[in-house]
Amino acid sequence: MPILAGAAFAAGPFMTAGAQSGSAQATTSIVARMGATMSEPAARHQIAFRPFAPPRRIVEVALLPPFHGDDERANRGIGFEFTGSAGRRYALAEWPSNGGTIARFAPLAEDEPGCTDVRTFSRGTGPNGIVWSTSRGLVMTLQADGANDARTLEVEWRKLIRRGACR
């Protein structure tokens, strides 16, 4: 079983030089803490699936270490950091599941019929992310910057679902 926290929160060799040195970017960018930031075309070139891109203003993109499996193009993920309608920043991360599962996470109280499986994960106190599987074999997460706010996070997640994030 994969360790989502390892894939999503420990950048390992993907960590950018700015994140390693503790720059301001590392403290403000969600996706920079998850992987190696780069241009969107460069990140897309290093993954083997067609990602769902958030319809909002994308402010940063990162290549992510695999969710499950060896570090190769077929297993790597991509993270999009974008601003929501109220100016809050969110990170949408996507990986091929490659046989991995999200079963160890707590189910989300409000399930979404279009998604294969929907769960939450937490860091510290309360939920700060939603993780789900798609029928295309992807695992996706949504996190917000700043304080944990489950309601705001769920509202933004539902917007992404309505725009096709589970297809």
State pLDDT tens for residues 108-136.
Answer: 866 666 788 899 887 666 668 999 999 88
Does residue 23 sit within a domain? yes
Residue 47 and residue 35 in contact, taking contact as beta carbons nearer than 8 Å: no
Does residue 167 sit within a domain? no
| Whole-prediction pTM | 0.82
Does residue 47 sit within a domain? yes
Tally of domains in the chain: 1
* 103: containing domain: 4-162
Of 19-28, 43-52, 88-97, which gets the smallest average pLDDT?
19-28
